[in-house]
Every structure is written in structure tokens, then in C-alpha cells.
Chains A and B, each alone.
Chain A
Amino acid sequence: MTAPLLDALLHRPHLRVLLCVGTGGVGKTTLSAALAVRAALLGRRVVVVTIDPARRLAQAMGLDGLAHEPTPVHVPGANGSLDAMMLDVRHAFDQALIGQVSVEEADRIRANPFYRALAETFSGTQEYVAMEKIGELHRLAAGDGRWDLIVVDTPPSASALDFLDGPNRLEALAHNPLLRVVLGLPRGPFGFLDAGAALATRALDTILGGRLFADLRTFLQVFERAVLAFESNAVETRRLLASEAAAFLAVAAPRPDPVAEAAALVQRLGEEGLPLSGLVVNQVSPVVDVPPDLLATAELDADHPQRQVLAHHRRNLARVRAERWAIEPLERFRVPTTLIARQPGGVNDVESLAALLGGLEQQASPGRDV
């Protein structure tokens, strides 16, 4: 059985960007790859962007490791084409920031502790860079038509909302009135009172110490320019993501925590006017449907080996009930929902990626029979 809801989504003629969003550990990366393979089979020219794939997943796509540039993946029987790439966050952030300065300045900036911290550990950098990459790939695709669909695996994060909040966090930092204070720039009508500015400068100097404070100034000069340049692109990318050319798939697993994250995410996408096209519940336990009275009768007459099989089936039924109970809170959103069965053998090649969706069971809303 194929997955009609997802196939219909991949068939949408206007669709250009498909984003898989959800918390860590729900199988977003594998799902993104599977959707990309499926789209290529359906005749689309696809590029899939991932942040941090398993080595095995890269191997499943026939690559030793994913390159940082789009690399062709052979999909047997595909009418379309598939390229895959892994986003190198450090490199992309370098490009975004270093692109704004001279070569000599660039070396100084790379050694700057604030720059290193932001590039390596700031919890909005991956999202910022991912957003930038979506815009860039879209411009390339629109330019020469090399792709007609970009599938995005959003960065691994504790919270599913980070993908939406990350870039804002970076921009909020760039627009923080303190930044202008530290740089000694005019503060504008909504800036600090002078007394506040003096206190704030003194506070930062005191907390950070003189040397670090000097490094901070150097860094902020470049950072401000880079973020302003980024913002003009970001406006365009956000417009794209809010249009009918984009679709978001919220991904969850049938456990209370990921479901709570997915629910918060669905709500937020609605508030932000972003187009949620479906929910995917991954890693669902498969179970065969046997009427309860037949099962009970069979258990009465079964011999020991038969009981071993039936007892396991009972356990599986209980597991499935617990999963149904866990995903029930998603029902109220009335969003088309697709359940994907857990793959005991894992994903080893392009065929098994395609089969992941081939083994899909889907329905209009969760909570009833699979």
C-alpha cells in the first residue's frame, strides 16, 4: 500500500519546498530521505538537504558520506532525479559572515571568541543557516530549473519550535539596543536612556573583563553587517515558506513527549500563517487486525507453541493501544495524518527508503483502526 496523502502532497504542481519539522529522535532525517526518493520516483527533480544524517543513511543513498554540495543519488526506476546534500553549518555561517568583510578582517574574525561561540554553540545558528540555504537553493532552482522540489530535514533540536525561533533569536540579538550601545552608535528613538547605557556598558565590561569586551566590539561590528544582509534574504524566504509553494509536515513518534511537541508545533504554525500540510506519526508498531472474539476463542484451544505466538500478539495489541492513546491529543487539530510502521530491519538502501513509504498505513485522522 502506498501513502495517498503524502503522494498527493508530492504531486502538488505548485509545491517547491517541503519541510519536515519535529523534535529529535522521531526519524525526521530518514523520513525526509524517504520522501525525496518517493518524489523522484513520481517524476520530480528533487534536492534533499539534511543537517546531520547517520552514516548508514548516507550509505543507503549510495554515498560514502553526504557531501556539502548537492550530489546525485541513483534512484532505480525514477522518472525524476535526486540530489542529496548535508548542510555544513560552520562553513555556511562562515560564508554568511565572512562574506561581509575583507580577507584580513576575515582571519581576525575567525579567531574571535564570540564568533567561534556563535558559529559552534549558539542555539539559533543551525536554524539561521538552514533558512539561508533554503533561500539559496530556491533561487538556484528558479534560475535554471535544475530542481522543482527542495526537501528539508530541519536541524536536530530539543524543541520542535527551534526551527521557527532560531533565526529570530539571532536577529533579536542583532537588534538588541545594547549592541548599538557597545558599538557607540546612535541609539534611535527607542534606545536606552543615557544613564542606562552607561550602566549597561559598565556592567558588560565588569562581567566580561576588558579583553573580552574589546573582542566583543570587534565581533559586533561584523555581526551587525552580516545580520542586516541576511535579513533582506530572510524576508524573501519567509514569504516563500508562507506561500502555497511550501508545505510543512509535522513529524512525531507515538509517545507522549514528541506528541506534546508536535501539538505545540501545529499550533505555532497556525499562528504564524505557515502552511501545515500533514502530520506524520513515525515508528508506529504494526499489528494485524483480528476480531477480539476470534482471538479469545483461538486462545482457549491453542497448544503451547500457538500460545507463544498469541501471547506476543496480545502484548503487541497493548503496545498499539498505548500508542493510540499517546497520539490522541493530535486528533483535535483535524490535520490529515499518516502513520508509518516501525521498520525492524532498518533502512539499508534506496529501495528500503522507498519501501518505508510503501509500507505506510494512512488515514484521515489518528485514533481509529490503522
Chain B
Amino acid sequence: MFGYGLILPALVLLTCLVAYPFGMAIYFSLSDYWVGSPGPFVGLTNFREILGNDVFRQTVQNSFLFTGVALTLKTALGVWLAVLLARDVRFKRVLRGAVLLPWVIPTALSTLGWWWMFDSLYSVVNWTAIHLGLMSAPGPNWLGQSNYAMAAVIVVNTWRGLPFFAITVLAGLMSIPREFYEAAEVDGATSRQRFWHVTLPLLKPVLAVVILFSTIFTFSDFNIVQVLTRGGPVNTTHLFATLAYQIGLQGGNLGQGAAISLFLFPMLALVVFLQLRYIRKE
């Protein structure tokens, strides 16, 4: 009984403010629901309309491109950075602190800084590239051209997510017993071979968890795109969350907005499934 009593507040909260709104999201998505005027049940009309909408199709494409590229970059750079930080270097604590900083500062605010760095006229990125002779003036309009805008949001997402990968992978690296490396060294393995045949296989469990986590949070990202591009130019950087915000809140069409955000659910379900299966196996 005591056990139930202790968990009750948490359960009540999560039922009322997570499970119930989730049910409401489904109900909204199946009805013609507008801000201030609850409408009738319309079945799958919202979904049908969304799927026939070019902006939505573009959003699906953007989301997979954004998540795929950002995740790859974060994984590769994160492992590399973790390997560097695991070495015997001085100022270890300061280095870790510096590298983790982008993850701690409010994302919406640091993205403002990136916005200024990608400004159409005063971009410091372009200024530097032009003065180094890497670019001819005036350089790309980062947030005004679709491919560049996508590159910009991916860069900022990678910048923000990299510390999470690096620090967790570093913890994974620290837990690998030294004997493994010594044994590999005795067998004459080069440092590259040690990385591919000792480090990476032993990191697999940690990497799997980190990648799964990051998948759902990258896929459902809102802050970076909302501040940097608002989904533009011409919807080429919209993600599910920003499109749902635009249609459901700014446009007032809660039904369609809810239907769009529900497209995050299959990805969530997949990640939960894999995580649970993985934890059970442990």
C-alpha cells in the first residue's frame, strides 16, 4: 500500500498532463477543431488533407534529412571528441566544461547568436571565408537559400547536441578495462586497429542508447528551427513541430496541428520499443 501511496502523485500528474493530453491530441486530430471552437468528428479528413499537402510532404523530407545528417555528424564527431578527451591531457576539467557548454546554455538564446552569425549582410562566417579567400563576396545568404538554410539548422543542432554525445561516450570509454588495450597491444595491434576492434565494439551499448535518445529529440526539435528560420525559406526547413506550431497555433487549426504533431508518434514508438527491448536484455 505504502508503495502505491508514494508513487500516486507522480502517476496522477503524468496521467492528467501527459496521458490525457495525448488522448486529446488524437481526438483533436480526428475532428474539425479550431482554437475557441470545438468542431465535429470528421474521421481521417485531417490526415488525408495533410498527406495531400505539398508543405507537409516537404516537412517529412526535411525531418528525415535533418535527423539523419545531424545524427551522423553528432555520432562521428562525438566519438572522436570523446576519444580525444579520454587521453591523458592537461586541463581535463576545463576542457570538458568548455565542450559541454553549448548543451547547458538555453538553446533558443544561443541560436540567436547563430542567427546573427548567419546574418544575410553581416555574417561573420562569410566575412571570415571571404577574407581567407575561400569565398567570393558577398557569399551565400545562409538563411535565405534553402540548401544553405538546411545546412545552417543542421550545424546548430550538431553544435548543441555534440556535447551530449561526447560526454556520455567518454563515460563509456572510461568504463572499458585497460587490460583489453594491453592485450591488444601485446598482440601488436596498431592504435587504429585498437579503436576499430576494441573500443568501438565495447562502446556499442552506450552508443545505442545515446543514438536512440538523440533520434527522438532531434526528430522532434523545435527551438533551433523556430528561432533561426521559422521553417523558411519556402518551408524548406520546417520540421513536424514547427509546422504543427504554425498551423495549429498561429493558424488556429488545432485539428490539423495535432494531426501533424502525431506524426512524431511512430518515431517515438520505435525508439521506446528499441530502448525497452535493450534494457530488458541488460
Report if A and B associate in a common complex. Answer: no
Which residues of B come within 8 Å of A, CB atoms? none
Which residues of A come within 8 Å of B, CB atoms? none
